[in-house]
Structure 1
Amino acid sequence: MTVPRTEQDAFDRRSLHERIAADLRDEIMTGDLAPGVRLPSTAQLKDRFDASNATVQKALQLLKDERLVVGRAGAAVTVREHRQMTMRPASYMAPATAGEPYRWLTETAKHGGKARSRLLSVAEEAPPADVAAALGLPGDGTALLRHQLLLLDDEPVELVHAYYPLDIARGTALMERRRIKGGTPTLLAGLGHPPRLSVDRVSARVPTQEQYEALRLPGDLPVLRTLRVVYGDDRRPIEATVMAKAGHLYELRYEFMPE
């Protein structure tokens, strides 16, 4: 039986400075407060939210910790440049052309700055249940994991756990602890497993301890978790990747054509 919600259930139990930060964060992410624009003054924010000076300052400090705004006490606070990034997964799914780096690096660098990847580990292990199901593994099955951190201007952008069926990975450069020139889409295509279809499942999650530390998250903000399954010929899954990025700094853009 569904229990009706009461007014008390619906009340926002967050502290006032968290609620103020949430409203300003939304205005920053939607572009109402664009990069380079000054936030309303402390006096204006006090009037708008019926808050004390100290409460407004606590809210602004949250946004500074999240790298959304810059400024110091007593001075104007400005929306930080180049922090609201729209990522287009389709733009870096295809194999790179001969001699070119992994397309994530070249496409991300178009936003400005230097993009690079840091390979953290390569190992055979049992993947999470949703990854195992996507790859068609038995309950105790293992896959090859390539674990890396993607960075832009030395700031962490995305934590990546990419899993590959062992019968595809064994005896190839996937097993080696080194970066793969052109990225794994290029390598898989060269091995006779060109990517034909990619399916993403995106959810907002409370960050795990690993995600919190690796992405240098400032607080209890969600991460965007993407489970991407790449299929080759005959709809065979050839890669399943779990990607996590800071939900307050990035959005994902997908484009579709009507059938």
Structure 2
Amino acid sequence: MPEAHEDNRPLIERIAADIRKKIMSGDWEPGRKAPTNDELQRLYGTTNVTIQKALRILKAERFLEGRAGVGVYVRNERPQTITPAHYIEPAAAGQSYRWLTEASKRQQRGKYRMLEVAEVTPPVEVARAMRLEAGGTAVLRSRIGFLNDQPAELVHSYYPIELARGTRLADRRLIPGGSPALLEEMGYPTRSQDDEVAARPATTEEYVALELPGDVPILEIFRVVYSDDERPIEVTVIAKPAHRFKMGYHIELP
């Protein structure tokens, strides 16, 4: 029989992970005062020095904040649930991209900043999803999405070159109504969407663009959008800070 797998991480990291879970799950409500160091010492059976080091990690990651002379408090922000189904349908004529209108419904200010628009050789997994031949190119649109002026997502969207070249998809400006509305106008309506979600450490690009605090992971959403005849018309890779966002799905059975 193989030996049982054990958590051999330093106690500081294990305590930080446990408290992090309490905050993400809502067991420690936003804005509440954290237990005192004495209480945490008793809870985890360790020393004040160890507790202080664990709290220091969580402060660096902005899960906790210290208030001089008052104590340590849980951040005020609740983790926000992302619901991909809210964004799949193109915006109506004259309306903003659904990501922005959904932000408004939550009383948030949403905006995008374009980073790059170029013809590129996409990563292997993107090329495979787009059914490109070896060495094939695509139009890349890269941007950062902000909610209340905080970076919320780094987005790299790829489009078939024969579909995008010479259109607004190859223009550096933002697209009124977003790419789903434009693609529908071009005769490529969205028919379905596949999402794959993973969690991993951030790259340097993601760390800088999303202004990540500490060594927090990111949520990666790998999205393929299909039009008629299951033709892939967009492949998007989205990186979101995992300490601020969760993925949510609603499924109804027939």
Report the TM-score, using the length of structure 1 for normalisation.
Answer: 0.92
Which residue of 187, 194, 199 corresponds with 1:199?
194
Indicate the SS of the match to 1:56. helix
Distance 1:5 1:243 in 2: 38
* Residues 17-54 of structure 1: CA deviation (Å, up to 9, x unaligned): 22111001101111111212222121111111122223
Distance in 2 between the 1:14 and 1:109 partners? 42
- Secondary structure, counterpart of 1:243 in structure 2: strand
Q: Tell me the residue number matched to 1:142.
A: 137
| Alpha-carbon distance in 1 for matches of 2:224, 2:208 | 26
Structure 2 residues not aligned, in runs of 5+: none
Indicate the RMSD between aligned Cα atoms, in angstroms. 1.6
**Counterpart for residue 123 of structure 2:** 128
SS state of the match for residue 213, structure 2? coil
Residue 51 of structure 1 is matched in structure 2 by 46
In the alignment, the residues of structure 2 paired with residue 220 and residue 36 of structure 1 have an alpha-carbon distance, to the nearest angstrom, of: 23
Runs of 4+ in 1 over 6 A off after TM superposition: none
Paired residue type of 1:196: R
Q: Which moved more, 1:79-88 or 1:138-147?
A: 79-88
1:94 equivalent among 86, 89, 95: 89
Equivalent pair of 1:198/1:231 in contact (CA under 8 Å): yes
Superimposed CA distance per residue, residues 139-171 of structure 1 (whole angstroms, 9 cap, x where no aligned partner): 211100000111112211111100000111012
Question: Which of these residues, 30, 36, 39, is aligned with residue 31 of structure 2?
Answer: 36
Is 1:168 aligned to 2:163, yes or no?
yes
Structure 1: state its 5+ residue gaps.
none
Instruction: Indicate the SS of the match to 1:167.
Output: helix
Count residues in correspondence.
254
Mapped contact 1:67–1:83 kept (Cα < 8 A): no
1:6 and 2:6 correspond: no
CA distance in 2, matches of 1:71, 1:107: 33
Contact 2:24–2:78 (Cα < 8 Å) also in 1: no
1:200 touches 1:226 (CA, 8 Å); kept in 2? yes
8 A contact 2:139–2:161 mirrored in 1: yes
Distance 1:59 1:109, change over 3 A: farther
Q: CA 1:233–1:170 in structure 2 vs 1: closer, same or farther (change >3 Å)?
A: same
Distance 1:53 1:67 in 2: 21
SS, match of residue 108 in structure 1 = helix
After TM superposition, the score normalised by the length of structure 2 is: 0.94
**Cα separation, 1, equivalents of 2:107 and 2:42:** 37
Q: Which residue of 2 aligns with 1:217?
A: 212
- What is the deviation of 1:96? 1.0
Counterpart in 1 of 2:71? Answer: 76
CA offset digits 1:52-85 (Å, max 9, x no partner): 2232222222222222222235533222223411
Rounded Cα–Cα distance in structure 1 between residues aligned with 2:151 and 2:173: 19
Contact 1:84 1:250 in 2 (8 A): yes
Choose 229-238 or 58-67, whichever is displaced more: 58-67
User: Structure 2: how far apart are the matches of 1:23 and 1:32?
Assistant: 11
User: What's the CA shift for 1:255?
Assistant: 1.4
Q: Secondary structure at the match of 2:8?
A: coil
Instruction: Name the residue aligned to 1:63.
Output: 58
